[in-house]
Structure 1
Amino acid sequence: MKGTETKAPGVPQALVDLVGDHFLEAARYLREIQDAYPKEFVSVAKKLKVGRRKAYELVRIDRRFHDLGIAPERLRQIGWTKLAHLASHVDADNVEKWLALAETVTAHELKMLLRGTVIDPETRAVVLYLDKVQYGIFETALLTAGAIKDSGCLLNREAALTRLLDGVVVE
């Protein structure tokens, strides 16, 4: 009924200031907002200076880990990125195994292990800073070489880039 839904409560500045180090508290708060005031969820996330995707990930983390009895400090040490990867894979029976693994590997390695991919210890990361035009050329080249665009992300980009470079490199 129109007029019966109340506005979400204001976001305490103390919570805004603590989001980084205290992401679990932010996750709990966002979950409460999502449950009680779903229409206000995105605006509250903005007030917390949290992007939409991260806000939904934080809620998913809280929904999965809140009742499992894991020490909050341990979850903080693991970090929100790894917990977001784990959230759809853990349950009461396997959470200890996955958390122990998350404490020993990088977020990228954890994501690969969750996918069932074998990790090559010689893997190297490459970071590129491309402007809009350069990225457009890069994306087109990778798509031509076999990468797949999915939800704004390029999948199989490493293999596509390797194919492109293999055709350029002269031995």
Structure 2
Amino acid sequence: MAAKERSAKRPRGEAKRDQSGDGTSPEAGNIAFQVEKISKMAARRGPDFFELAGALAIAKETHSKAFEDIISQAKISRRRAFYLLEVRERFQPYMRDAARLRAIGWTKLKVLAPVINTENADDLLATAETASAQKLSQILRGAVVSSKSRCVLLYLTPEQHDLYERMILAHGGKRRGRQLIDQERALMAIIDQVSARHD
């Protein structure tokens, strides 16, 4: 009886392996679908970068090990793909204003991505709506962003950045993907501690 069951199961297993017709697994077929979908989005004139970034995020989540092969086959550079993912992640909290973000454009959002947070978002987005990408970069290098806020841009060595990251996380900062959030609050906590020692 057991032998009959094994012999009955074998053809079904073989049929399952061959169901794609070319010997590829369902997962490989799904990867091919992702490549085609992303390629078509990227090839459009004036592609919707949030839509493209969303497709990249799905591909990365479902096929993390094959992600770099997917973007290579889709003719998207690694740098561009990860910039798109970073911008999508940073601006996810503000997608209620998706039309506004699209109007500001990918180039300026890429400039804002490293520094935007819930406290400065309104001021930065308002500035981005009227300033060129070049002017926006200049503003973020230290000029006044609004009457209430100033932007500080730091250039750190890898060793300094590692120390900075550890201190920010130890004083209330949080990690979201590859980004640090609540840096301002954590940095002011550090400054308050140092100031208290000298009072």
Q: Give the TM-score range, shorter chain.
A: 0.5 to 0.7
For residue 190 of structure 2, what is the aligned residue in structure 1? Answer: none
| RMSD, aligned CA | 2.8
**Distance 1:37-1:20 versus aligned 2 partners, 3 A rule:** farther
1:19 Cα shift? 7.4
- What do the CA deviations read for 1:117-144 (whole angstroms, capped 9, x no partner)? 58xxxxxxxxxxxxxxxxxxxxxxxxxx
Q: How many aligned positions are there?
A: 116
**1:67 aligned onto 2:121:** no
Q: Which has the higher helix share?
A: 2
1:112 Cα shift? 1.6
**Amino acid in structure 1 at the alignment position of 2:111:** H
Please point out which of 22, 26, 37 is paired with 2:52.
26
**Amino acid in structure 2 at the alignment position of 1:99:** L
For residue 65 of structure 2, what is the aligned residue in structure 1? Answer: 39
Task: Judge conservation of contact 2:59–2:67 (CA < 8 Å) in 1.
Answer: yes
**Distance 1:96-1:47 versus aligned 2 partners, 3 A rule:** farther
Please point out which of 111, 117, 138 is paired with 1:112.
138
For residue 6 of structure 2, what is the aligned residue in structure 1? Answer: none
Separation in 1 of the partners of 2:103 and 2:47? 10
**TM-score if structure 1 supplies the norm length?**
0.57
**Distance 1:100-1:84 versus aligned 2 partners, 3 A rule:** same
- Answer 1 or 2: higher relative contact order, Cα 8 Å, separation at least 6: 1
**Distance 1:70-1:93 versus aligned 2 partners, 3 A rule:** farther
Task: Judge conservation of contact 2:41–2:47 (CA < 8 Å) in 1.
Answer: no
- Work out the percentage of aligned pairs sharing the same amino acid: 34
Unaligned runs of 5+ in 1: 1-5, 119-171
For residue 83 of structure 2, what is the aligned residue in structure 1? Answer: 57
Please tell me whether Structure 1 or Structure 2 has the larger radius of gyration of its CA atoms.
2
Unaligned runs of 5+ in 2: 1-26, 145-199
1:56 Cα shift? 0.7
- What do the CA deviations read for 1:70-115 (whole angstroms, capped 9, x no partner)? 4222211111111111111111222121111111111111112112
1:27 Cα shift? 0.9
Separation in 1 of the partners of 2:118 and 2:101? 15
1:67 Cα shift? 2.8
